[in-house]
Amino acid sequence: MALSPEHRLLTLAELQERISARNEVPFVIWDGKVRMSVARYQDKLLVQHFGEQLFLGDGAQASTHILKPEPLNTAMPCMVANEHFCMKLASRLSLRRYGQDQAAHVAHVAHVAIIRAPDPVLAIQRFDRRRVPGRWVGGPQGVRLPAIERLHIIDGCQATDASVADKYERNMGNGRDVAHIRDGVGFSRLFALRPQLRQPAVGVRRMTLWAVTTLLTGNSDAHGKNIQSYALAPPPTRRCAVKDLTRRSRTQHPEACPRPRARKSSFLWATIGNIRFPRTTATWQYS
């Protein structure tokens, strides 16, 4: 039996209330059930964002955005501004150099925006969703919402038939006795997928863009699961937009931002070399 699309309005006041109560009520629990189907290290919420309104969807109605409030972990301050800045920077760089991907009608970097509830919340547009032209569904209070189609994607671990435990190229860590072991997902394995891409040149360009912007922003937790592709029929795939760019090196508050654990050194650093970033004195401000 086919599921029917269902929605309910999510007001900013309710969103703020739930953000403030995360120590008492897990952020993934809404209306008595779990609302999460994506990997999470930070708190996340899947919503449909249409115009200036947010909706929680059920049944056949797919989400369009991922909301990420500030983490409760004090070791990760200003993450909303951090990720927003890094993603916007990568977007500006990609559009200036390459323009829009006309074949896919999408930008090279996922679109992000800051919603104020009034606490800042990062809204990330999902690139594994597509609006169905000319189709609408009924929403609450007579609102008509666009029908959304889910797109099948796979990440770098799935594409290379690697375990999630091997998402870092140095899958055994950076210890003196194991740093030479690089059996995880690295660039050599990812670029070997080139023949499987529908547009190999575009796919390689997007992987290169991700590598360069990850290096420039100092994201020390980049890994194979950050690289994702659309699974198309017939088999060739197409690279998705860039996502999850943040600066993870220490800020001017070293006591609040400890250095990443050796285990978290990404395959990017292992591939390019043992790169270390100087301590930055920059501060993050919301705009």
Q: What is the pLDDT of residues 26-48, one digit of tens each?
A: 998 999 888 875 555 689 999 99
pLDDT at 178 exceeding the cut of 90: yes
pTM: 0.78
Cα–Cα distance for residue pair 108/69, rounded to 1 Å = 24
* Beta-bridge mates of residue 130: 149
Nearest to 151 by CA among 112, 196, 106, 186: 106
CB 108 within 8 A of CB 241: yes
| 140 and 9 fall within a common domain | yes
Domain endpoint, select from 151, 173, 199:
151
pLDDT at 92: 86
| 239 and 188 fall within a common domain | yes
| 158 and 284 fall within a common domain | yes
pLDDT digits (tens, 9 = 90+) for 96-149: 766 655 444 456 788 999 999 999 999 999 988 989 999 888 777 778 888 899
| 16 and 141 fall within a common domain | yes
Q: Domain tally for the chain?
A: 2
pLDDT at 280: 40
Cis peptide before 69 (omega within 30 of 0): no
| 79 and 135 fall within a common domain | yes
pLDDT at 90: 86
pLDDT digits (tens, 9 = 90+) for 17-28: 999 999 999 998
| 122 and 22 fall within a common domain | yes
CB 196 within 8 A of CB 231: no
| 3 and 139 fall within a common domain | yes
Nearest to 14 by CA among 120, 113, 117: 117
Radius of gyration (C-alpha) of the chain in whole angstroms: 20
pLDDT at 286: 38
184 vs 205, higher pLDDT = 184
pLDDT at 182: 92
Question: Predicted confidence band at 53 (pLDDT cuts at 50, 70, 90)?
Answer: very high
Crossing angle for the helix pair 79-98 and 200-217, nearest 10 degrees?
140
Beta strands across the sheet bearing 6-10: 6-10, 53-58, 45-50, 65-69, 120-125, 112-116
| 175 and 191 fall within a common domain | yes
Domain endpoint, select from 151, 169, 189:
151
| 138 and 185 fall within a common domain | no
Nearest to 223 by CA among 181, 186, 262, 250: 186
| 137 and 215 fall within a common domain | no
Longest dimension (CA), the chain: 64
Catalytic: 221? yes
Question: Predicted confidence band at 57 (pLDDT cuts at 50, 70, 90)?
Answer: confident
Domain that holds residue 30: 1-151
pLDDT at 3: 67
| 246 and 147 fall within a common domain | no
Select which of 58, 119, 128, 221 is catalytic. 221
Query: What burial class does residue 99 get, using C-beta atoms within 10 Å of its C-beta: 0-12 exposed, 13-18 middle, 19+ buried?
Result: exposed
Domain endpoint, select from 101, 126, 151:
151
| 142 and 158 fall within a common domain | no
pLDDT digits (tens, 9 = 90+) for 181-200: 999 999 899 999 888 888 88
Cα–Cα distance for residue pair 59/137, rounded to 1 Å = 12
Instruction: Report the percent of the chain where pLDDT is more than 70.
Output: 74
12 vs 246, higher pLDDT = 12
